[in-house]
Amino acid sequence: MITYETVGFMAQQGAAVELRTMLPAEGDRLKMLLSHPDVQRHILHRSTAGSQPAHLDQLVNRMLYPYDPCALHVGIYRKDAPELIGTASLQSWNRHEGKAVLGYMLDPVWWGQGLATEAIGLLLGYGMRELRLTHVEGRCRGDNLRSERVMLKNGLTLERIMPMADGSGDVMKVFTLLHK
């Protein structure tokens, strides 16, 4: 039987942002970011049984406490301020195949300033160098042009467009990044 340990993350510095491990004390801030209506509509997650607050608590715990060896969740911080402004993650990480699914969200106050683009560039660079990723997939709703631009600016290409499983009539765009 093969077992995996969780991944330790070394902080990554960019020109305007820093990626680092989130602290448990940031749980309330993370919950606030995940609950923001402008963020909520773009988060693609499976619905689970139970109340919405319980589901949100479960999500926050998964992101703050690194017990999942197939996911890496890090905080996005502005270099000039200590407050958490978003998250970036590599999920469904398959170490044997070098594949992962990209996830990210940013406080709407900071949208449109290039911070998500820089943060995702840092995370993808780390993933390719340190985690030996060769295939990263990112997804967004059809109308989420900001997220689409973040992925395109970081070298992901549109692979396919498919209907959302929720029957809303919306579509999901799937982007990929291949690295040899």
Q: For 15-68, what is each residue's pLDDT tens digit?
A: 999 999 999 999 999 999 998 888 877 675 444 444 477 778 888 988 998 777
In a domain, 161, yes or no: no
**CATH number (domain holding residue 36):** 3.40.630.30
Q: pLDDT tens string for the chain (180 positions)?
A: 455 667 779 999 999 999 999 999 999 999 999 988 888 776 754 444 444 777 788 889 889 987 778 899 999 999 988 999 999 999 999 999 999 999 999 999 999 999 999 999 999 999 999 999 999 999 999 999 999 999 999 999 999 999 987 777 789 999 999 987
Q: What are phi and psi of 163, to 5 degrees?
A: -65, 145
Domain presence at residue 30: yes
Q: Measure the CA–CA gap between 22 and 73, rounded to whole angstroms.
A: 8
Does any domain span residue 68? yes
CB atoms within 10 A of CB 152: 14
* pTM of the predicted protein model: 0.89
- Report how many domains make up the chain: 1
